[in-house]
Structure 1
């Protein structure tokens, strides 16, 4: 019986993970559920899945969580804060961790899981973007297994099953849906709203990641992730826009072969792979009927003129050091400002580029260095936002 901690349980990936877990009560059990601020949603999940522990990040939600669990007649133990979460993730209450906390806030618990040799289903992009070298080194030294949950990286994971396949690797090709604004000119994006940017045509995701998909920053972050996960340089990682979102990634080999992983756009496939790989279990996702899906697969090059965030991510990866952390922090600030209607959609890459220019990269030698770069980038990005809106 796998004991699973689901971090970010109230989000879309958490919901998908819990759906897969519920389908296999003889093999999987959710023992730890963690959320950010939504106490009511967390209590409701505890009623359904009856974990041993529940963690709310916001300290002011602890009393409400404890009361809600008691009123529901549950013996689930309430906790709050990063220290409590790290201790649970590192302890014997779980052997598998779904890391789906959004943003830099998920880094500590992800490292805690890797440091103690857990199986880590990694959905928190920022852990790799901010501290990819540190996370991968930590996982190797502790014997942790990292299975990426992003559909693109999970596809590559399935296509590179062993070291022999990796030795013959020529390049990785990540696919992108193109988001809600595919095909539009840069000028036509000037007045788009947060609601339009969050209306992803294929995937059901949170607000922040949906906006990242609309700017193509999401794909840029995935390029950085792929570099760390599969030890491949930026020059051997390409992006293709594939609007059907059925081909999740392709892997090209030196002998001319190309392998692709296909499936319906549903995160439960990748999560089920993560739980029991190399064994496969039912995920609740149906098989792919290409004829029913329109009988065609289209591909096109990304438009980095209209969507410069993808180019900025490649620039940060090549610069190395703290540059990806600066990129990520500036983007989080910019997307938040856009969602708050403090600035326009086209200002997002402008804020990121200004921040990258203002903070030359230094060696990412420790979490302290990365934390300092993150904090500096946020201050500079916020100043850039203020300048843009005044």
Structure 2
């Protein structure tokens, strides 16, 4: 039986992963669950799956979790130290780690899993954006297995030749096409985008996701981060990655080959599909998702992204061209900007302004260690907060 650690079990990816695992309890055993502060849901997950270990990173939530499990006579051990994430991700008794923590917080435990040679089901795209070269080196050195859960990268994996590694050069690929829904503001004008609210931005037309990734989808930064992620996952240059707006979110991505063939992975927009494929790769298992009804779907639309309205996408390409620590700066500035937008300290359009400012103000440098990655991340956040304080709408 395959023992699994889920980093970020109360988020969208974690909950969907548990739904798939529930169908296949004879194959998979939840070894550990981690979350931030959703103590009620985390308690219920412990009741349902009886993991050996659990931790809520928020101290108050963790204390309440202990009380809850004691009252319910659940034998799961509640850990206290934040370093427990790294310990769980590298634990000798587990084979698979689902990295579903949102943002830079997922970097260190995911690196720990890579250094320990685990099978890593990666939803935390920030690990590759912040420290792609270091992470890929760690995966190769330890013979870890890296399988993307993002629907787009998982789709690419599904249409690559299964007899070969995830490698652009050896698979006869001409280019990769990443599809994007366009988010809730696809048809908005630049003028209309000046006035959108967090509440409007959190209404994604196709997917139910956490706040951060939903805002990233609205700005199209999510697709920018996925471009950077794809470069590292598939060893492909940015110039051979094309973004295509596909409002229905039925085609999850495509691969164009040198013989003129273009292969696409299609399905209903449901994260249980890529999670099930990642868990069982290269085999397939039941996910609980219904098949695609082509008659009901009726049509598939495509259009080019508007980089003028959604400059975050262009900033991601720019960060790739700049190289070194530029993607790390991009990611840190974006995380700070999204948090500020959600509390209405800055406007929707100022998200891109802030990111561009940080990328211009900070000179890219080589990322020779995780310590340098974390230092760049910290300095960028400080710079971004300073910019926000000088532009704060509520001040």
User: What band does the TM-score fall into relative to the shorter chain?
Assistant: over 0.9
Please tell me whether the aligned partners of residues 37 and 62 of structure 2 are also in contact (alpha carbons under 8 angstroms).
no
Q: Which residue of the partner structure matches residue 184 of structure 2?
A: 180
- Say whether 1:171 aligns with 2:172: no
Cα displacement (A) at 1:63: 2.3
Cα displacement (A) at 1:326: 0.3
Please tell me whether the aligned partners of residues 173 and 239 of structure 1 are also in contact (alpha carbons under 8 angstroms).
yes
Please tell me whether the aligned partners of residues 330 and 378 of structure 1 are also in contact (alpha carbons under 8 angstroms).
yes
Deviates more, 1:88-97 or 1:325-334: 88-97
Cα displacement (A) at 1:352: 0.3
Cα displacement (A) at 1:25: 1.0
Q: Please, which of 194, 200, 204 is the counterpart of residue 198 of structure 2? A: 194
- Say whether 1:317 aligns with 2:308: no
Q: Deviations over 1:164-184 (max 9, x none)?
A: 884201111100000000021
Q: Which residue of the partner structure matches residue 335 of structure 1?
A: 338
Deviates more, 1:374-383 or 1:218-227: 374-383
SS of the residue 1:120 aligns to: strand
TM-score of the superposed pair, with normalisation by structure 1: 0.98
Deviates more, 1:297-306 or 1:51-60: 51-60
Corresponding residue pairs, total = 389
Please tell me whether the aligned partners of residues 56 and 65 of structure 1 are also in contact (alpha carbons under 8 angstroms).
yes
Change (3 A) 1:162 1:318: farther
Matches within 5 A, 1:10-89: 10-89=10-89
Cα displacement (A) at 1:30: 1.1
Q: Deviations over 1:34-76 (max 9, x none)?
A: 0012222211110111111101112343322222111111110
Q: Please, which of 236, 239, 256 is the counterpart of residue 232 of structure 1? A: 236
Output the CA distance in 2 between the equivalents of 1:348 and 1:162: 42
Cα displacement (A) at 1:278: 0.9
Q: Which residue of the partner structure matches residue 292 of structure 2?
A: 288
Deviates more, 1:160-169 or 1:180-189: 160-169
Q: Which residue of the partner structure matches residue 90 of structure 2?
A: 90
TM-score of the superposed pair, with normalisation by structure 2: 0.96
Please tell me whether the aligned partners of residues 58 and 80 of structure 1 are also in contact (alpha carbons under 8 angstroms).
no
Q: Please, which of 354, 357, 362 is the counterpart of residue 360 of structure 2? A: 357
- Say whether 1:373 aligns with 2:344: no
Deviates more, 1:234-243 or 1:73-82: 73-82
Q: Which residue of the partner structure matches residue 309 of structure 2?
A: 306
- Output the aligned Cα RMSD: 1.2
Cα displacement (A) at 1:93: 3.4
Please tell me whether the aligned partners of residues 245 and 304 of structure 2 are also in contact (alpha carbons under 8 angstroms).
yes
Q: Deviations over 1:268-299 (max 9, x none)?
A: 00000111111100000011111112x11110
Cα displacement (A) at 1:162: 3.7
Output the CA distance in 2 between the equivalents of 1:357 and 1:375: 16
Output the CA distance in 2 between the equivalents of 1:103 and 1:327: 12
> Where do 5+ consecutive residues of structure 2 fail to align?
none
Q: Please, which of 239, 242, 257 is the counterpart of residue 246 of structure 2? A: 242
Please tell me whether the aligned partners of residues 175 and 247 of structure 1 are also in contact (alpha carbons under 8 angstroms).
yes
Please tell me whether the aligned partners of residues 99 and 120 of structure 2 are also in contact (alpha carbons under 8 angstroms).
yes
Matches within 5 A, 1:207-222: 207-222=211-226
SS of the residue 1:163 aligns to: coil
Q: Which residue of the partner structure matches residue 279 of structure 1?
A: 283
Q: Which residue of the partner structure matches residue 203 of structure 1?
A: 207
SS of the residue 2:182 aligns to: coil
Output the CA distance in 2 between the equivalents of 1:176 and 1:262: 13
Q: Which residue of the partner structure matches residue 7 of structure 1?
A: 7
SS of the residue 1:298 aligns to: coil
SS of the residue 1:260 aligns to: strand
Q: Which residue of the partner structure matches residue 223 of structure 1?
A: 227
Please tell me whether the aligned partners of residues 32 and 94 of structure 1 are also in contact (alpha carbons under 8 angstroms).
no
Output the CA distance in 2 between the equivalents of 1:82 and 1:174: 35
Output the CA distance in 2 between the equivalents of 1:59 and 1:380: 28
